[in-house]
Amino acid sequence: MQMSPLIAVHMSAALGAVALGPVAIWARKGEVLRPRVHRAFGYGFVTLMLGASISGIFIRDYKLPNIEGYTPIHLLIPVTLLSLWTSFSALHKGNIAVHRKTMVSLYLGACVTAGAFTLLPSRYLGQLIWGQWLGLL
């Protein structure tokens, strides 16, 4: 797999979400609440997660175990979209605890865990990172 504009958009959105997520979560923790920071970074995080999810629909990988180019990691797309819907639905109903739990779970699952899997040597990003190091050995 090579870097294409679609993969560049997907990777940029995902890396941006990885960076913005902790700030949005941090801004609502502890004794000092920062609602403007939370909203600004939260909307940015949600926008980037939508961008990563939607662009991910069009990325196919026929090398890994797949069905029509869709690999198991593609299951995160509906999970992410459902999590965003659940989070904002809870927020609309005033259920802040469900909103918080859903967004933290989304960050840990879709950004941290999935991000770790993208660093496997068989994945594109893993080849970019580890291929350079492994080639030097």
pLDDT of residue 112: 94
pLDDT tens-place string over residues 13-37:
999 999 999 999 999 877 778 889 9
- Buried b / exposed e over 70-86, threshold 16 CB at 10 Å, is bbebbebbeebeebbeb
Q: What are the sequence ranges of the domains in the chain?
A: 5-136
Q: Does residue 137 surpass a pLDDT of 70?
A: no
CA 57 to chain centroid, in Å, comes to: 13
pLDDT tens-place string over residues 76-131:
999 999 999 999 999 999 999 999 999 999 999 999 999 888 888 877 888 888 87
